[in-house]
């Protein structure tokens, strides 16, 4: 069920005003990226202000922050959309280690300081389309996955990039209780082809709305692939493995006829139980004000990614 509360709000217009004040930005700036900024304030919910290259205003209207942090799918913390905000509150995300190995020349284990020091952060305002046919617009903060891959140097056998979420049933009640966790065989695993992973849209995200990620959004580090359905955007990643074979990913394993490996946003290929032609836009306001809009091919990113699938039948490879 959709639960959209109006409390704990940083309304979108305040966020925008704050961005514009901090950046000294008029609404119509033509610059793609502004100089590095740092938000001086410390937030109420322990999320830390980040220093990043801010993206100048674009045409997309941001979803209010309270919806982005309050309406989540993170089955490790329960299947209800409000459950992650409640049950991930005390999720320990620091210290954290991210291991990258498999078919690479340089296997590495990075902690949060390594990540901060090696990868300058930038903001990307992306459309986000869940397979359940709702959508948001989110100002992510992170760095391109290809920068991380350049560090580890995939070998010629590194054809797929596989991501693993933390497995810690003591902290994640959904991993302890089969029903609470939606029947998933944890840890949650996702994967991309090496070409998808190298695409400059593909982001390792560590924050949103100027601050570190809330635990329910996948702190401290998660994947953001804006042309794919939300379930590909795996959260709280501890391991990345390069390998030659296509991995068996979590949702494909659970329901192969419903969730494919590619999971590209495609209004022409319906989910077996519902249409994917349109989406409910989660914006400001309550349930009654939710609008529907047509879904765009590759979620509006066709220009940047359609070439990756030139030789694929997208009905078979859904
Ligand atoms: N990652 C893990 N580990 N566990 C999950 O249950 N849910 C996915 C994805 N990543 C999920 C996950 C789904 S279905 C969606 S729609 C997005 O996370 C939601 O991301 P958001 O809460 O930041 O909007």
Domain boundaries, the chain: 36-309
Ligand 1 atom at minimum distance from 251 CA: 14
In a mutational test of the pocket of ligand 1, which residue from 230, 240, 249, 271 has the highest number of ligand atoms less than 8 Å from its CB?
Answer: 230
pLDDT in tens, 255-276: 999 999 999 999 999 999 999 9
Q: Does residue 250 have its Cβ closer than 6 Å to ligand 1?
A: no
Distance CA 303, CA 310 (A): 12
Average pLDDT, integer, range 139-159: 98
Task: Give the pair of three-digit tokens for residue 253.
Answer: 């394993």
Ligand 1 atom at minimum distance from 184 CA: 6
Nearest protein CA to atom 8 of ligand 1, as residue: 231
Q: Does residue 231 have its Cβ closer than 6 Å to ligand 1?
A: yes
Q: Does residue 266 have its Cβ closer than 6 Å to ligand 1?
A: no
Q: Where is average pLDDT lowest: 10-14, 32-36, 138-142?
A: 10-14
For 36-309, CATH gives 3.90.420.10
Task: Give the pair of three-digit tokens for residue 4.
Answer: 């959209």
pLDDT of residue 179: 97
* Mean of pLDDT over the chain: 89
pLDDT in tens, 95-137: 999 999 999 999 999 999 999 999 999 999 999 999 999 999 9
41 pLDDT higher than 50:
no
Nearest protein CA to atom 5 of ligand 1, as residue: 74
Q: Where is average pLDDT lowest: 9-13, 205-209, 216-220?
A: 9-13
Nearest protein CA to atom 19 of ligand 1, as residue: 73
pLDDT of residue 14: 42
Ligand 1 atom at minimum distance from 187 CA: 3
17 pLDDT higher than 60:
no
Residue 183 — left, alpha, or beta (φ > 0 → left; ψ -120 to 50 → alpha)?
left
Q: Does residue 75 have its Cβ closer than 6 Å to ligand 1?
A: yes
Q: Does residue 230 have its Cβ closer than 6 Å to ligand 1?
A: yes
Q: Which residue has the tokens 């078919």?
A: 103
Q: Does residue 264 have its Cβ closer than 6 Å to ligand 1?
A: no
238 pLDDT higher than 60:
yes
Q: What is the dihedral of CA 148, 54, 284, 2, to 10 degrees?
A: 10
Nearest protein CA to atom 16 of ligand 1, as residue: 230
Q: What pTM was computed for the model?
A: 0.89
């Amino acid at each position: 069920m959709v639960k959209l509360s109006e409390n704990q709000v940083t309304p979108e217009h305040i966020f925008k005003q704050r961005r514009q004040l901090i950046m000294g930005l008029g609404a119509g700036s033509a610059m793609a990226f502004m100089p590095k900024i740092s938000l001086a304030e410390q937030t109420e919910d322990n999320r830390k202000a980040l220093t990043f290259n801010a993206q100048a205003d674009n045409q997309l209207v941001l979803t209010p922050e309270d919806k982005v942090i309050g309406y989540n799918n993170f089955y490790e913390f329960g299947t209800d959309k409000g459950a992650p905000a409640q049950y991930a509150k005390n999720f320990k995300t620091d210290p954290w280690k991210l291991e990258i190995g498999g078919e690479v020349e340089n296997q590495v284990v990075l902690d949060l300081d390594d990540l901060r020091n090696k990868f300058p952060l930038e903001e990307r305002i992306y459309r986000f389309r869940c397979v359940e046919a709702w959508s948001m617009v989110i100002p992510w903060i992170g760095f391109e996955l290809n920068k991380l891959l350049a560090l580890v140097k995939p070998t010629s056998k590194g054809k797929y990039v596989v991501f693993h979420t933390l497995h810690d049933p003591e902290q994640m009640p959904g991993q302890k209780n089969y029903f609470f966790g939606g029947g998933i065989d944890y840890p949650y695993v996702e994967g991309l082809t090496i070409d998808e992973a190298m695409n400059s849209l593909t982001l390792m995200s560590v924050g949103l709305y100027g601050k570190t990620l809330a635990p329910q959004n996948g702190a401290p580090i998660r994947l953001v692939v804006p042309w794919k359905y939300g379930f590909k955007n795996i959260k709280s990643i501890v391991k990345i493995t390069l390998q030659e074979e296509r991995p068996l990913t979590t949702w494909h394993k659970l329901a192969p006829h419903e969730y494919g490996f590619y999971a590209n946003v495609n209004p022409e290929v319906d989910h077996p139980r519902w249409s994917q032609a349109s989406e409910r836009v989660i914006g400001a306001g309550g349930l009654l004000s939710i609008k529907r809009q047509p879904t765009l091919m590759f979620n509006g990113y066709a220009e940047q990614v359609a070439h990756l699938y030139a030789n694929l039948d997208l009905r078979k490879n859904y």
